[in-house]
């Protein structure tokens, strides 16, 4: 897995969301319902332009944070990386591949997180299509699917680094 997929996913979501928000901006109500009670009744509102700006800023900020982490964290000194069997995974012959895997996983986590945030805002957009906004559970499966994907990335990280492959001698 390379970092490129996560980077492309983040950029694609931010660009797609930005285009979509500018296309639907005029059709949004002046006051957009942005927060909902458990039963779907809106209890928080925001101006249309503020909603558009906040959505784009949040998506770009979340994606940008993970991109920075995907570059910065793998460059930390070995003593600052917390991996199971660290001596094995950061042995000279595996160090570069391990650091590349960490970078790729952080970028992928950023892509999944950015997509999750975008889906949440899509659900909010759908709720605001009616004159009486109401959050319905018909799209909740999307959020559940992304929550599973969000959990899958760190799980894959744990499984990838949990122990050295059988038959491989531990690093000295």
Per-residue pLDDT reduced to its tens digit, 40-97: 889 999 999 999 999 999 999 999 999 999 999 888 999 998 888 888 999 999 999 9
Task: Sort strands 31-36 and 42-47 into parallel, antiparallel or unpaired.
Answer: antiparallel
Least confident interval from 20-29, 63-72, 125-134: 125-134
- Cα 60 to Cα 167: distance, rounded to the nearest angstrom: 44
Label residue 169 by pLDDT band (50, 70, 90): low
- List CB contacts of 65: < 8 A, sequence separation 6 or more: 110
Least confident interval from 72-81, 95-104, 149-158: 149-158
pLDDT surpasses 90 at 134? no
Say if residues 36 and 20 touch (Cβ distance below 8 Å). no
Task: Please give the model's pTM, rounded to 2 decimal places.
Answer: 0.83
Say if residues 11 and 49 touch (Cβ distance below 8 Å). no
| Tokens, residue 162 | 């949990």
Q: Tell me the DSSP string of 90-150.
A: TSTTTHHHHHHHHHHHHHHHHHHHHHHHHHHHHHHHHHTTSSS----GGGHHHHHHHHHHH
Q: What is the pLDDT of residue 135?
A: 80
Count other Cβ atoms within 10 Å, centred on residue 90. Answer: 17
Mean pLDDT (the chain) is 88
Q: What is the pLDDT of residue 4?
A: 92
């Amino acid at each position: 897995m390379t970092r490129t997929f996560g980077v492309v996913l983040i950029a694609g979501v931010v660009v797609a969301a930005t285009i979509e928000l500018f296309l639907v901006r005029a059709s949004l109500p002046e006051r957009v319902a942005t927060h909902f009670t458990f039963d779907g009744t809106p209890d928080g509102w925001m101006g249309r332009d503020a909603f558009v700006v906040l959505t784009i800023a949040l998506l770009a900020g979340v994606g940008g944070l993970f991109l920075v982490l995907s570059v910065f964290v793998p460059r930390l000194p070995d003593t600052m990386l917390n991996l199971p069997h660290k001596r094995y995974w950061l042995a000279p012959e595996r160090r570069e591949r391990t650091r590349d895997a960490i970078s790729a996983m952080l970028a992928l986590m950023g892509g999944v997180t950015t997509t999750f945030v975008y889906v949440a805002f899509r659900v909010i957009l759908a709720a605001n299509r009616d004159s009486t906004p109401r959050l319905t559970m018909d799209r909740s499966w999307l959020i559940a699917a992304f929550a599973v994907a969000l959990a899958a990335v760190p799980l894959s990280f744990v499984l990838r680094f949990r122990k050295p492959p059988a038959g491989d001698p531990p690093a000295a």
